[in-house]
Structure 1
Amino acid sequence: MSFGSVLRRGVLAGVCAGLSSALVTWVAVEPVIRQALDIEAARTEVIHGGGQSLPLRLPAHGGGEEPLVSRAVQVVGGAMTSVLVGVAVGVIFAIVYARVRERLSGRGDLVGSLTLAAVGFGGVSLLPALVVPANPPAVGDPTTVGHRTMLYAVTLLLGVAVPIVVVAVDRRLSMSSMSTTTRLALDVVVAAVLLVGLVVLLPGSPDVVPDDVPADLLWDFRVASLAQLAAMWLTLGLVFGVLMERAATGDRTLAPVAA
């Protein structure tokens, strides 16, 4: 199979992953965002009523100032962005899979693709979500944007480094006489220790949740955001694996009926 064919399957899988991510955003994340925007609007109305100055972040929904871009346009733009992000992730996913395919496709490309997708979700999505949890619009201090961005970037880089370290350990273990099951179990232990260590050692988000934001709204937003990322990675792994499996068996010809 040529690298170009693998890359094309990565792009197609990325489109599907982006669409699934946009669907989960529309169904699960958007309702929670609207609740948070209503809290912002109510907060701004209180400030107006008390004769105080406007907050740093203007409301994007509800009362107060009219938004420059309507919420419907924001939703459509977010869906298009999800598809573009899915394509970019799909391209990177295909490149990485082409590089490590011999080590992952021992039980078939579908299993190998799902394995790589699980690794990507854990290092690129789950770890940053645990260290710097996503916050709805009503939560977050604009003065800490730089701090949070830097912390997220560092966490993301360390999350990408974890699979690289695990692969290096796996190569060293493969040189010994231990069984494949034992080697894989040790790989899982090493990955778990590294991830837990990063979660414990890295500092958390500097933002404080305001008193007018319910705890269940914050929890629902973070779970929905993580579900959006999980849907993207799951769809990417499934679609790419199925396409690769079909490509591997596509060259087989059917025997004539007479035979």
Structure 2
Amino acid sequence: MVGRLLARGMIAGVCAACLAFVFARLFGEPQVALAIAFESARDTAAGMAAEPELVSRAVQASFGLLTAAVLYGAAYGGIFAIVFALAYGRVGRFSPRALALLLAGAGFLTFVLIPDLKYPPNPPAVGLPGTIGLRTATYFEMIVLSVCVMAVSVLVGQRLIQRLGAWNGTVCAAGIFVVLTALVQAGLPDINEVPADFPALVLWRFREAAIGMQLVLWSALGLVFGRLAAPVVAPGAVRHGAG
């Protein structure tokens, strides 16, 4: 069964990535173009020569972006399917579709929203070349700590639900997650390298588009995979529902 789920997960991931590509092409790429124009104007004013493009912007914004999105989506879809197979029947009595949406929401919260609240994505022209290593390390630290916080909150929440009931236990677990997340984020260093003259609107819209792309990806992944996985894990229920 895991092999069949894995194949369906990768298919769902590719479908979700295509939708995310369309979103990024419509809303993200215009902001990237504006940021690159700002960077070029700043370099020209400083008397710096423009760096040669190894890959043209047209290719980057079309085939390059699509290829990266598809590979990214297929990998995430495969991992998502494995996590689903491990969780199905062990995390509550959820239907395949409900569990897929629940896992997709948890994935978006853990891998995207929480890390991006601390270290939001930046367009070109934002960030110093000498701090790339620091920024990369702290961002992945935030992801790892976010996963740990989610795992602790889920484990504690399951015990609290047994003692306090579903509603009270869930609320307490959510409170624990928020508190632990705030402590983790407060303990990591802040990084502020946005140039003073960088357009605030471009920065804001780029970050909106970056998070929106991830939201489209995870939402579509949960919806599509839940539909594809239902006949595999609960074929009887699917036939009964169809009848």
The residue identity in structure 1 corresponding to 2:5 is: V
Check if 1:241 corresponds to 2:226. Answer: yes
Aligned pair partner of 1:231 in 200, 216, 227 = 216
When normalised by structure 2's length, the TM-score is: 0.90
Q: State the alpha-carbon separation in 1 of the partners of residues 36 and 149 from structure 2.
A: 37
Q: Where does 1:84-99 land on structure 2 (aligned, <5 Å)?
A: 84-99=71-86
Shift of 1:89: 0.9
The residue identity in structure 2 corresponding to 1:26 is: R
Q: State the alpha-carbon separation in 1 of the partners of residues 58 and 7 from structure 2.
A: 32
CA deviation vs aligned residue, 1:222-253 (integer Å, no higher than 9, x gap): 11111111111111111111112344246738
Q: State the alpha-carbon separation in 1 of the partners of residues 161 and 197 from structure 2.
A: 55
Q: Please, which runs of 5 or more residues in structure 2 have no aligned partner?
A: none
Counterpart residue number, 1:51 = none
CA deviation vs aligned residue, 1:185-205 (integer Å, no higher than 9, x gap): 222222222223323332222
Would you say the 8 A contact 1:105–1:111 is kept in 2?
no
Would you say the 8 A contact 1:131–1:203 is kept in 2?
no
Q: State the alpha-carbon separation in 1 of the partners of residues 172 and 150 from structure 2.
A: 13
Counterpart residue number, 1:61 = none
Shift of 1:126: 0.8
Shift of 1:104: 4.1
Aligned pair partner of 1:195 in 170, 181, 194 = 181
Would you say the 8 A contact 2:160–2:173 is kept in 1?
no
- Identity of counterpart residues, as a percentage? 38
1:19 alignment partner, SS class: helix
The residue identity in structure 2 corresponding to 1:3 is: V
Would you say the 8 A contact 2:142–2:185 is kept in 1?
no
Shift of 1:145: 0.3
Q: State the alpha-carbon separation in 1 of the partners of residues 226 and 92 from structure 2.
A: 10
Check if 1:120 corresponds to 2:107. Answer: yes
2:88 alignment partner, SS class: helix
Larger Rg: 1
Q: Please, which runs of 5 or more residues in structure 1 have no aligned partner?
A: 49-53, 59-63
Counterpart residue number, 1:212 = 197
Q: Where does 1:175-194 land on structure 2 (aligned, <5 Å)?
A: 175-176=162-163, 178-194=164-180
The residue identity in structure 1 corresponding to 2:215 is: A
Of the structure 1 ranges 210-219 and 139-148, higher mean CA displacement relative to structure 2 is found in 210-219
1:140 alignment partner, SS class: coil
Q: State the alpha-carbon separation in 2 of the partners of residues 187 and 246 from structure 1.
A: 32
What stretches of structure 1 move > 3 A for 4+ residues in a row? none
Task: Supply the RMSD in Å over aligned alpha carbons.
Answer: 2.0
Equivalent pairs counted in the alignment come to 239
Aligned pair partner of 2:136 in 149, 157, 165 = 149
The residue identity in structure 2 corresponding to 1:216 is: L
Question: Which structure dedicates a bigger proportion of its chain to helix?
Answer: 2
The residue identity in structure 2 corresponding to 1:196 is: A
When normalised by structure 1's length, the TM-score is: 0.85
Check if 1:161 corresponds to 2:148. Answer: yes
After superposition, the Cα gap between the structure-2 partners of 1:239 and 1:19, relative to the gap in structure 1 and judged at 3 Å, is same
Q: State the alpha-carbon separation in 2 of the partners of residues 122 and 133 from structure 1.
A: 14
Q: Where does 1:44-55 land on structure 2 (aligned, <5 Å)?
A: 44-48=43-47, 54=48
